[in-house]
Structures are given as C-alpha cells and as structure tokens.
Chains A and B, each alone.
Chain A
Amino acid sequence: MREILNKKASRRAVLGAGLAGASMLAMPTILRAQDRSLNVGVYGGYFKDSFDKNIFPEFTKATGIAVESVAEPTGEAWLVQLEQAARAGQAPADVSMMSQVSLLKGMSTDLWAPLDMAKIENASGLIDTFINKYPDGRVAGIGAVSWYITLVTNTDVYPEAPTSWAALWDPANADKLGLLALVSNSFLLEVTAKTHFGSTDVLATEEGILKVFDKLAEVKPNVRLWYRDEAQFEQALKSGEIPMGQYYHDVTGLAAADGHPVRSTFPKEGGIRDSGSWALSRASEKVEEAHTFINYMCQPEIQAVLSRKVGTSPTVKRDLLDLTAEEFDAVSSDIEPIIPRYEMYQERSDFLNQKWTEMIAG
C-alpha cells in the first residue's frame, strides 16, 4: 500500500490522466447526461425513429438531459400499461405522448401529474385547445403534435382522387376498403355524422348515435380489412391489394415521397384531426426534467422541425411559425377538420364498444 502511495506519478500517467480529463471536459453533455435522463414514450415505428434522429439528440445537446425513447403501442394499450405500472409505483416512461381519448381516461384516475405552467413558458404560444386541463383546472397535458386521418387511395387503382368520404359507401368500392378496427381510434362515427347528417351534433344523444351506427353499417360490404395493425394496412395500400381506406396523412405523405403509388386526400367534409399530448406519469420522479422537455418541445422552431421531418401538424399558433405556405399545406388543410367528440368516448365507452363490435363482427 505504502509502495503505491510513494510511487511517483510517471510522465505517461500524468499525460494519460490529462488527456482523459480534457476529453471529459470537451464532452460535458455526456457527463451531465449521466446524471440527468428522461424516458419519453412516443409511438413506435416511423414516428419514434424520426424523433430519435431529429429531435432527441438536439434536446440533449441543448439541455444536457439524456433521452431514452420508449416505443409505445397505439390505441389505449399504453395507457393500460402506464396505469398498471403507476399502481405499483413504477413509470415505464416518464413523459408519454398520449392520444386525447387516453389522456381523458388517465385523468379519471389521476394518472397524470399536474404540470406547473410557470416552468413551461413556451406554452403561451400554443393554440388554446391544446392545453388539457383536469376539471379543477390543473394542467394534465400539453399539446405535442396534431395529425390528420384522411381518405387514402392507391394511385394505380384510382387515377382520380376521391373528393368525399361518401366514397366509402359507394357500391363500386365493394371489398376494397381498409378501416381502423376500433371505435375509439377510427372516429368513423364522426365521419358518418359529418358526411350524412350534416355535423357531429347528432352524436350528442344515444338515439342519434344508433342512427349513425345504422348508416355506418352500410359500409360493411365494402370493407376488406378492419385493421388494428397499421403496418398491415400500409403494406396492402402500397401494393394495391386494398386500394382505399382511412390512414394517417403524415405517414401516407412519407410513403408517397418514397415513390409508392399512394395519395392522401382531404375530403370536402374535412380530414379527422386528432392530436397527441405530452403527459407525465404520477409515478415519475423526473418532474424537473419532464418540465424542461415539454417546454423545449413547445418552441415554434421545434414544432416547425416536426412538421418538416415527421409530417405532423403544429400545435402552436400559425403566425409564430416560419413554415412556408407550401410546407404548412403539406401537413394541414384549409378545409375545416372533423374534430372527434372525445367526451363521447369517455362517457359512453362501453356502450359504443359493444355496439361497434356487434356492428363489425355481427
């Protein structure tokens, strides 16, 4: 022991230590990243890849907080996992991007930790509807991105783009459609209401909902695939196996840009506009980091990057963005969107689910 203490530091050791020290100083983000980290849940697949490539590294560079991205499944599967984990005091992800239906359901069990708006200054630029609040006014979620579900077609099979959602009911399209298989993510009730009943107001009563269901049941002979798995429909759409259906505007645009014969059309009744919000699990201990992250994501510049790279529609006000008219049109439309009636899925979820399952599987 004494021998070691008495040993003079060799020239080589000093050089080595100096080099190691210098390189550590040169990479402060790595040093700090080891201390501060955040698990962020985003939809798996293209979405996550895009965030990993374009967003998270920049965030780590700017703040020193390392991001571990977690692929979350769509639908409410992730909500169920977060809820079960939170009951056990665990958080598989600290911050997650949640759909509006899931966010509302999570609110009913106080799953989301209230956010401190004083720490999220950039949220002032958000469009008001993109701040989700508990009934008592606490903030549960902050708008992350919004996206459209539109009418998509294979350009080889349909040289002319359809103009209306009414194409879903056209007998000429028998056995050609791919539609989402769940009532709470397809929003086909709203589409039917807007297309055939003038507006979604008809869905305010149970009687109205049943009328809409009857009309929607008429599309059944046209549907070849009710899909839960997006990849399955996307692949079939590209190949022309299932040449028409409802799908995400952003992903369809990316597929078209890659040279696949697909197109996304905003029907004259409007595309379905859904959105994802950042929400923090109550079981998370990374409250500070989460606020920093959400604040960062609300910046207009970041929202513009998302629009350009991921193809999502921004949640901040249009005049704050430096997107050109062309860039904005690529991710959005002037046609008034169909806004899902989220509260309906909250209040009548079992009724809707039962009627829906009986309609498609009966």
Chain B
Amino acid sequence: MRREPPQRFADYGPLVFPAAMLVIFFVIPFATMIAVSFFERQQGGFYEPAFVFDNYGRFLSLFFGKVLGFSLFLAMAVAAACVTIGVPFTYLLSRSSRAAQIRWLVALLSILSLSEVMIGFAWSTLLSRTAGITNLFALLGLMEAPQALTPSFGAVMTAMTYQALPYTVLILYPALVRLDPTLTEAARTLGASPFKAFFNVVVPALRNTILATLIMVFIFALGSYLLPQLLGRPQHWTLSVLITDQAIYQSNMPFAAAMAVFLVLVSLSLVGLAVYAGRQKEAA
C-alpha cells in the first residue's frame, strides 16, 4: 500500500485524538501555570489575578541562582553517572545469554515498581550509622567504627542514580541489541583490544542514543524533590524542593509557578543546546 500525503481536511482525522489529549493534559495546565506566575500574591492569603513581574523579580537573586545552579549540576551529574554505568553494563548485557538477559531486565524493571519514598527510606537506613552498611565494614575490620553516610551529597547522588539507572538501561538496550556485532568483530580482527573496540567503535556508533539517554535522565533527575530532602542537607535541596515548599507549605502559588516556568525554560534551552551540538557534530 502506498502512503499518500493528506489530501482533504478529513485526512487529518486520526490526529484529532492525540492533539486533543496534548491540549487537555499539557497545553492547558502549562498555560495555567504561566498565567498564575504573573498573578499577584496576597501575603497571608492566596492570590489575585493580575499581571505583575514581582514573582520573577524575587527569583532573580544570588540565593535562587545558586539553588538553580546546584539543581542543574546535580541532574547532569546523575545523567553522567547513569550513562557511565549504563552503557558498559548494557553492552555486556546485550552480549550475554538470553536467560541472563531476562533475569537482569526483570530485576531492573522491578526497581521501577518501587516508589521514591521507599527508595529514599531504604537508602537512608542502608547509609545510617545505627543500622547501615558501615556496621558490616566495621565488623570486617575495614573501618574502626560505624559512621553515618547520610545526609550527604554522595547519598543523594547514589539514590538518584539507583532510581534512574533502570530507565537508562531500558533506553540503551534496544539500540545495543540491534548494534551489528560484525562492527566489533572487524575492529578486533584489525587488532584492537576489547576496550579500544568498545570506546572507538561501539560508543561512537551509539552517539545519538547516548545523547538521548543523557537528556532523558537529566530531565528525570531535575524533577526529583524527595530524595534530596530525605538524604541531603539543606544545601543539597534542589529547586524542586523550594517550589514544593512555596506551593504546598507557603501557599504561594504565583511564586512557585514562576520558579517552575523558569526551570522549564532553562532545561528546555539546555536540551536544545545539546541537540544542536549533536547535529553540528554529525554534520561535520
């Protein structure tokens, strides 16, 4: 059957449903948020419709700049960690037996069924002084006394990487399975070591997939607000934590909306930049 470009207006019919869903569940809520971000905050109350820039003005300060900077840094660090672990892991996984692959994938998928709260509490117990993993180290003589590893930046990073890794593997897996094995074989025949073959052949062949994975994990990590709260100190709280504080606890919807709009704009422009850089490199 030959596909023809839509001729009449009715040919666009199948698009109506997805378009309506997109409008109802994305465009309208997002537009509402943008509108609220310009509303006027009533201190000690709620908000009144207005058109003021106060909410954005309050955000433009050194303090919030630092928090935004930290949030972006944390999300990038998590994305980098996930890809660093995920690419070699998925590569080895795609080369292992069918049964082993299934077992690993089921185990990874089961992580997705855990809520963020459970992951947070499990890690905070695992990294605690009284019941944590350091008790085991002390018992084995690796450490003098058990110590608390949380709250710390390392604890936040570990838990967030743990949470995002299954997504990373799930995105990388199809691409790696489809990767032509003769590519590496050719590299090996020409004398490359397994490491060299991996870095010089497999990684460049997957450049676009890796970039897409980085972007997805980055965005996923940017929205995290529970793990930084449970496992980090206040200086490790992300902008999402402060947005929640404003929206839920301070009932300051306009300011929360302004911060959220800002966060979306910054992350969209970063993603745009990454995609643009990827295209440039491809063209070169």
Residues in A lying within 8 Å of B, measured CB to CB: 75-77, 79-80, 83, 104-105, 108-109, 181-182, 184, 224-226, 228-229, 232, 236, 239-241, 346-350, 353-354, 357-358, 360-362
Contact = CB atoms under 8 A, between A and B. Distances in A.
Contacts of B128: 236, 239, 241
Contacts of B242: 357, 361
Contact of B249 (A76, A104, A229, A239): A76
Given A76-B249, A80-B251, A361-B67, A232 B44 contact: no
B212 interface: no
Given A77-B249, A241-B131, A349-B43, 16 more contacts: A75-B248, A76-B249, A108-B45, A226-B234, A228-B229, A228-B249, A229-B229, A232-B230, A241-B128, A346-B44, A350-B41, A350-B250, A357-B63, A360-B234, A361-B234, A362-B63
Contacts of A225: 151
A182 B44 contact: no
Contacts of B148: 224, 241
Interface residues of B, number: 31
Given A83-B251, A228-B229, A241 B129 contact: yes
B130 A350 contact: no
Contact of B235 (A104, A354, A361): A361
A224 to B, nearest CB: 7
B252 interface: yes
B25 to A, nearest CB: 18
B60 to A, nearest CB: 13
A349 B249 contact: no
Interface of B: 41-46, 58, 63, 67, 121, 124, 128-131, 148, 151, 229-230, 234-235, 237, 242, 245, 247-253
A239 B237 contact: no
A300 to B, nearest CB: 34
A90 B42 CA distance: 22
Nearest to A110: B45
16 contacts: A80-B248, A108-B45, A109-B46, A182-B249, A184-B249, A226-B234, A229-B229, A232-B124, A241-B130, A241-B131, A347-B43, A347-B44, A349-B43, A349-B250, A350-B41, A358-B63
Contacts of A229: 229-230
- Which A-B residue pairs are the 5 nearest by beta carbons? A108-B45, A361-B234, A346-B44, A360-B234, A77-B248
A105 B235 contact: no
Given A224-B151, A239-B130, A358-B63, A353 B250 contact: yes
Contacts of A241: 128-131, 148
Contact of B46 (A83, A184, A348, A357): A83
A64 B248 CA distance: 36
A356 to B, nearest CB: 10
A76 B234 contact: no
A350 B42 CA distance: 10
B97 to A, nearest CB: 42
A239 B131 contact: yes
Contacts of A184: 249-250
A75 B249 contact: yes
B250 A109 contact: no
Contact of B251 (A79, A182, A224): A79
Contacts of A349: 43-44, 250
Contacts of A362: 63, 235
Contacts of B43: 347-350
Nearest to B120: A232
Contacts of A232: 121, 124, 230
B131 A76 contact: no
Nearest to A238: B130
A80 B247 contact: yes
Given A75-B249, A77-B248, A241-B148, A109 B45 contact: yes
Contacts of B131: 239, 241
Contacts of B67: 361
Contact of B250 (A76, A181, A348, A358): A76
A81 B3 CA distance: 50
Contacts of B251: 76, 79-80, 83, 105
Nearest to A350: B43
Contacts of A105: 44-45, 251
Nearest to B236: A361
B44 A108 contact: yes
Give the most central of A104, A236, A241, A361: most B CB within 10 Å.
Answer: A361
A158 to B, nearest CB: 15
